[in-house]
Amino acid sequence: MTVPALKAIRPGLFTTVQDLGRFGFQELGVPVAGMLDPLALRLANALVGNPPGMAGVEIAYLGPSLRVEADSVRIAAAGPLAMTLERPGEREGEGRQPLLPWRSHSLRRGDTLHLNSVSGAAVAVLAVAGGFALPAFLGSLSTYTRAGLGPLGGQPLREGTALPLAAPAAPTTADVELPEEPDYGSGPVRVVLGPQDDRFMEEAVRLFLTSSYTLGKQSDRMGLRLEGPALTHRAGADIPSDGLVTGSIQVPGNGLPILLLNDHQTIGGYAKIATVISADLPRVGRLRAGDRLSFAAVTVEEAEAIRRRQESHLAALVRGIRAVRPPGGVDLDALYACNLVSGVVDIVNGNGDILSLLGEDP
């Protein structure tokens, strides 16, 4: 019996299976890894009826082409991703139907889903209803390619790779969409200073918070190398190695900050001037080489309040998920919810007939 799967006809530039991360093993030297944009993963999973942390596909810059080798499958993409659908029998490159992100789509056997360019961000996310039938490593399906850990041998998708599906067919319910795209925020990336900001000259801290930096070309899932004003240490960059977290901003001896992302090492010996707050990590994970960013300091209490507001926004988006309307269709639920008739007035005409008129309440 053939295992239901999505088969990679084209692998994409750097396509990996990721969930929200492999937590609890950094003391053993195992990085967390996980989606660079966890907000997108949670929303894509909501659109296909999955738990928030179920593993999906992270698409970097240019995505794969996936052929459906199952009776049917429901998918949803989250992020600025161009997608097209090719049905069996169509000539190569002709008659492809464009598909929209931030909503679900039900595909059938033989369809080829072309996940094309990601525009305006480095990554996008694809989720499938039921998830993938892949073995977990240390409780997670996140891929850490530097050590070959995780599904598919810990490597990116390759041509001919089959992603086995846990569900043999798509749900029978209607496809759904988000009421609006999520708000990732704008302006400076917010940080909490420290834990070693005291190892920098006061002028260096001021310079860090008032300057603009550019993402260097050598940036990757391990960290973003920032090009801009060099920051001066009080007595050298080296410290006794200590633990690192996603969002830590190390400053090595050359004074140029490195913003650590999901595949960062578990300990490091460079002083850290600040840490990106958790609410801004999805936005940072979407940055591309050449993008510019600046920083603003907030307190721990402010960071917690910002994260609570973000979670409220995310919950409202999930509550607002609705059935997809046909093009030009009418949202009957919204129509019926409106108070279109505010009053009925009965009058008697000159012939004694009773007439009912719709009108406003007096």
pLDDT tens digits for range 13-41? 999 999 999 999 999 999 999 999 999 99
> Residue written as tokens 């850490």?
144
* Out of 106-120, 166-180, 318-332, least confident range: 318-332
Where in the chain is CATH 2.40.100.10? 189-314
Q: What is the pLDDT of residue 326?
A: 67
State yes or no: pLDDT of 356 exceeds 80.
Answer: no
pLDDT reported for residue 350: 57
Amino acid at 327: P
| Lowest mean per-residue pLDDT among 57-71, 77-91, 131-145, 309-323 | 77-91
pLDDT of amino acid 28: 94
What value does the mean pLDDT of the chain take? Answer: 91
Give tens-digit pLDDT for 248-286: 999 999 999 999 999 999 999 999 999 999 999 999 999
CATH of domain 189-314: 2.40.100.10
Count the residues in the chain.
362
pLDDT at 359: 47
CA–CA gap between residue 98 and residue 75 (Å, rounded): 14
Confidence grade of residue 96 (pLDDT, cut at 50, 70, 90) = confident
- The secondary structure of the chain, three-state, reads CCCCEEEEEECCCEEEEECCCCCCCHHHCCCCCCCCCHHHHHHHHHHHCCCCCCCEEEEECECCEEEEECCEEEEEEECCEEEEEECCCCCCCCCCEEECCCEEEEEECCCEEEEEEECCCCEEEEEECCCECCCCECCECCCECCCCECCHHHCCCCCCCEEEECCCCCCCCCCEECCCCCCCCCCCEEEEECCCHHHECHHHHHHHHHCCEEECCCCCCCEEEEECCCCCECCCCEEEEEECCCCEEECCCCCCCEEECCCCCCEEEECEEEEECHHHHHHHHCCCCCCEECEEECCHHHHHHHHHHHHHHHHHHHHCCEECCCCCCCCHHHHHHCCCCCCEEEEECCCCCEEEEECCCC
For tokens 């998708």, the residue is 157
